[in-house]
Chain A
Amino acid sequence: MTGTSRRIGKRGRDLLQVRELRALALLVIVVGGAALIQPRYLNPNSLRSILIWIPLVAIIGMGEMMVIIIRGIDVSVGSIVGLAGLTVGLLFRDVPGFPVFLAVIISILIGLALGSLNGAIISGAHVPGVIVTLGGLSAYRGVTFLITRGSQIDGNYIPKSVIRWSQTGPLGIREVPWIVVIVLVITLITWVIFRYTRLGRDMYALGSNPDAARLRGVAVQRVTFFAYAFTGALAGLAGILYSSRFGFLNPGQTGVGMELTVIAAVVIGGVSPFGGSGSVLGVLLGCLLLGAVNVALAVLGIAGSWQLAVYGAVILLAVGSDAIFQVGLHRADRSE
């Protein structure tokens, strides 16, 4: 190979490595396409709809990307949202005047406890994450039904201050509500963990090559435990945010199926389904893309029943292009 062609080849690979670009390109296509057909799509209201759609997905996505980067998966997040959300909902209903800050802490702690349980079993007993969290998916939802006896927490029980997180923002800016600010804070924290802590660096190493990571002294069990616990805590936070965003909590609805949306956003955002690479920026873009698709469907007057099918198509498109480029690279690399 000549010098020049080698350089171009390397640059091509580096470009591919920036898989966030793919999410960005798809985002431009979706927004542009929808705006061409229906110019109304570009008004502030639909921007707001997109922003208001993504917070729960983005917050949990920050944890889910950690789990996927270390070659795991957490499908219990939707049920954690349900259990944490309904628990604080019961407190709001049954303890009039229950302090909101305490409710936030309880919601996060419940998520942290459930995530830690996942993480402890997975790292301690070496059971694959998909099995353990599948158990969690079912068990945590079951507990939610038990403690609520199946009844919904109506909007009038949810404190006004909680509802307002989704309605007004800092300095009263309506387009960027507080819930979006929370997303940005969580994103920043996650970025710092990945970029500036040993723990975050170890996650990439572990996902990229588990055997080599072990030989280099990466504390595999601790890293694994942290990823699941962190994800659980974020899902717990999303529990109380759900009540703000939707104005009600229902054991059969709150968080149901969210794991799929979150995993979709993470993978579309360029986090390698084989582990080892991915960025918070990509995950944000993935969430925006799913949000844009969702709102486009509504604005274009396409029935909501199409939603799942379109998500699926977007995931297959994203992962399919992955399979064409990235898998080839990885296979060439790892089978040597």
Chain B
Amino acid sequence: MTANPLVRLTALSMSFESVNVIRDASLSLYPGEVCALIGENGAGKSTLLKILGGIYEPVRGSIEVNGKLTSILNPQSASALGIALIHQEPLAFPDLTVAENIFVGAEPKKGKFGWVDWKTMYQRTREVLGALDMKLEPTSRMHGLSVADRQMVDVAAALTQNARLLMMDEPTSSLTPGEVERLFAIIRRLRGQGASIVFVSHRLEEIFEIADRIVVMRDGEVVGERLPSQTSADEIIRIMVGRSLDAMYEKPKANPRDTHAIEVQDLRSTGHFRNISFQLKAGEILGLAGLVGSGRSSLAKALFGILTIDGGTVKVGGKVVAIRSSQDAIRNGIAYIPEDRQRQGLLMPASVTQNISLSALSRLSRHGWTNRALERTKAFGFVEQLKIALSSVDQQVAELSGGNQQKVVLSKWLLNDPKIIILDEPTHGIDVGAKAEVHHLMAKLASEGIAMLMISSELPEVIAMSDRVLVMREGSIVGRFDRAEVSQERIMAAATGQLK
């Protein structure tokens, strides 16, 4: 590129609660160019966009817009600089009309009182919708529109504010192929008019279709930049996953029992996943890989009864069971450790003891009265067994570290004697040492005959811990690998639809 960059990021860093999510990222964005940003889940793409959009503030590094050093303090200053962020799920105002949505916070004014000028507002809405080839009425209410239309309304809002940098965070993830084509036509037109566009997607074929330049991120760093004409999908995948496996604790080879702990046949949940079939033996760890939105977490929730199953059968211990609620799942020996342990897995202000006993209170109670002594004894047992670091079992869970919190969640379920444990991102946001401990614990539980279904976005973790790996993409299983044949590249190729 010979032109001067519109936006230049230099050595940007950012962290959440002392975990680095962006490390020394440098990136230049040029007018009249579509720059695709790609990387695994958690590589830092969205965070980078949010820094530019004024939602997050970087800890270190500099941002230049049009060659001038600047800081983007809030979304308003981003939009004043001509930077617009189109969110993955459009942040609409459902009760308001299309025109009102486009102009919220920037309504055209007239007269000396600065009253809202509706005529101009509708006029400009019609103009911008026309420029985008959109057949929408300015007075339509937002809540009747499709996701694609709402996204376009966001784009329209950006254009009315003269945005020169449009950042789209996975804009195609909930669009139909026809809608994607329309979006691409608009992206090309905007590029032709000199706009700079950042396009985040997990779909490699889309990236090769639309991008002028591909930037790959991994673990918060910009790790590669390629021109589409000079690279291949295979190379991009290699750069994406290029993490070494050395540091990872490797689960010893399992000797799964012959009994099937759970068998799933043709399971379907409309709008989430379909045709899901697999078996899981007692003592086996089955890794479930795939990109965010591929249906992994939905499958986990369905098996635990908190997402409606619309078809197919689930057998537990050889018997067909109906799982319509979490109570059904618990009764059948299924435990579920959700991704967001702080919000879904734990009562943060409650004590360790209370958290551990929560899902087994009926076993610890007689005639509705909880046996406090028994409750504490059980809690002590787990603290010893799982080596939970704490000052007292009466300590608030909120005060524990991430790794220890995860152990409390595990204890809670182990008290119920589960046969099957579903773990969604079990080591997400936990430091390296604690990760290894959680992994040891999982291996130990497997060796005791518990079957585990582990969802993870960390490919090294999937490979190190799983006896077998399933890869999901857009609601279906698109890859099945044995321990011997699995690799990061193969998983990522399947997850991005490049599996030949």
Interfacial chain B residues near A216, Cβ < 8 Å: 75, 104-105
In contact, A209 and B93 (Cβ under 8 angstroms): yes
In contact, B116 and A196 (Cβ under 8 angstroms): yes
In contact, A212 and B92 (Cβ under 8 angstroms): yes
* A17 part of interface (Cβ distance < 8 Å): yes
Binds A, one of B94-102, B322-330, B340-348, B438-446: B94-102
Which of A218, A329, A334 touches B105 (beta carbons < 8 Å)? A218
In contact, B76 and A217 (Cβ under 8 angstroms): yes
Q: Which secondary structure dominates where chain B touches chain A?
A: loop
* A204 part of interface (Cβ distance < 8 Å): yes
Interfacial chain B residues near A215, Cβ < 8 Å: 55, 75, 91
In contact, A201 and B107 (Cβ under 8 angstroms): yes
* A residues 193-209 touching B (CB-CB < 8 Å): 195-198, 201-202, 204-205, 207-209
* B251 part of interface (Cβ distance < 8 Å): no
CB within 8 Å for A209 and B143 given contacts A198-B107, A202-B105, A216-B105: no
User: Closest Cβ of chain A: how far from B17's Cβ, in Å?
Assistant: 21
Residue of B nearest to A216 (CB): B105
Residue of A nearest to B111 (CB): A196
User: Closest Cβ of chain B: how far from A293's Cβ, in Å?
Assistant: 28
Bound Cα distance from A212 to B90, whole angstroms: 9
* A94 part of interface (Cβ distance < 8 Å): no
In contact, B143 and A217 (Cβ under 8 angstroms): no
User: Closest Cβ of chain B: how far from A47's Cβ, in Å?
Assistant: 34
* B115 part of interface (Cβ distance < 8 Å): yes
CB within 8 Å for A329 and B143 given contacts A197-B115, A197-B116, A205-B96: yes
In contact, B105 and A333 (Cβ under 8 angstroms): no
Q: Mark A212-226, 1 if CB is under 8 A from B, else 0.
A: 110111100000000
Bound Cα distance from A127 to B91, whole angstroms: 25
Which of B92, B116, B140 touches A201 (beta carbons < 8 Å)? B116
Bound Cα distance from A197 to B115, whole angstroms: 5
* B114 part of interface (Cβ distance < 8 Å): yes
Residue of B nearest to A332 (CB): B143
Quick one: which of B76, B95, B116, B118 has the most chain A CB within 10 A? Answer: B95
CB within 8 Å for A208 and B93 given contacts A201-B107, A215-B75: yes
In contact, B104 and A213 (Cβ under 8 angstroms): yes
CB within 8 Å for A209 and B75 given contacts A195-B116, A215-B55, A217-B105: no
User: Closest Cβ of chain A: how far from B178's Cβ, in Å?
Assistant: 13
Cross-chain pair count, CB within 8 angstroms: 81
* B residues 77-96 touching A (CB-CB < 8 Å): 79, 89, 91-96
* B454 part of interface (Cβ distance < 8 Å): no
* A254 part of interface (Cβ distance < 8 Å): no
* A272 part of interface (Cβ distance < 8 Å): yes
In contact, B115 and A196 (Cβ under 8 angstroms): yes
Bound Cα distance from A197 to B111, whole angstroms: 12
* A187 part of interface (Cβ distance < 8 Å): no
Q: Mark B103-119, 1 if CB is under 8 A from A, else 0.
A: 01101010001111010
In contact, A212 and B107 (Cβ under 8 angstroms): no
Bound Cα distance from A142 to B121, whole angstroms: 49
In contact, B100 and A201 (Cβ under 8 angstroms): yes
Bound Cα distance from A129 to B141, whole angstroms: 28
* A330 part of interface (Cβ distance < 8 Å): yes
Residue of A nearest to B109 (CB): A198
CB within 8 Å for A205 and B93 given contacts A198-B114, A218-B104: yes
CB within 8 Å for A333 and B116 given contacts A205-B104, A217-B75: no
Interfacial chain A residues near B141, Cβ < 8 Å: 13-14, 17
Bound Cα distance from A106 to B53, whole angstroms: 47
Bound Cα distance from A211 to B89, whole angstroms: 13
Bound Cα distance from A272 to B96, whole angstroms: 13
Given A13-B144, A198-B109, A205-B96, output 7 extra A-B contacts at Cβ < 8 Å: A13-B143, A207-B95, A208-B93, A212-B91, A215-B75, A330-B94, A334-B94
CB-CB nearest 4 A-B residue pairs = A276-B95, A212-B91, A208-B93, A196-B115
List 8 A-B residue pairs with CB atoms under 8 Å apart, sorted by A's residue number: A14-B144, A205-B93, A212-B104, A215-B75, A216-B105, A217-B75, A272-B95, A336-B89
